[in-house]
Amino acid sequence: MEMTAVLKEASEELGIPEDVLLREGFASFLKERKRLLMAERFEMLSRYGAKSPEELRRKIESGELPEHPTWEDYIELTNLEDELTRLEDYLRSVASRQ
């Protein structure tokens, strides 16, 4: 069954408008993605005993932590931060359309 047909059928069966199902489903996806990224962020920071990406960078620059592989993890962490910001923006956008 095509996705639009499934959406239409679910909408009719559940008595929930299609746009509400789409919006709520998208919001749930964003929240779950955010939860996974936050867990990954926490794991990375915990590995180095840092509370923020900035603290991790300072520890690398001061020589408290080795450059390799810590710089690579720092770069990955900043990318995670960027994605989390985008997810937050999308979540605010979805919330403002309710």
15 φ/ψ sector (left φ>0, alpha ψ -120 to 50, else beta): left
Q: Are 34 and 88 in contact (CB under 8 A)?
A: yes
Please write the tens of the pLDDT for every residue from 25-45: 999 999 999 999 999 999 999
pLDDT at 65 over 90: yes
Looking at residue 98, what is its pLDDT?
A: 78
Distance CA 29, CA 63 (A): 40
Please write the tens of the pLDDT for every residue from 74-92: 999 999 999 999 999 999 9
Domain residues of the chain, as ranges? 29-96
Looking at residue 1, what is its pLDDT?
A: 83
Looking at residue 59, what is its pLDDT?
A: 98
Q: Are 77 and 44 in contact (CB under 8 A)?
A: yes
pLDDT at 10 over 90: yes
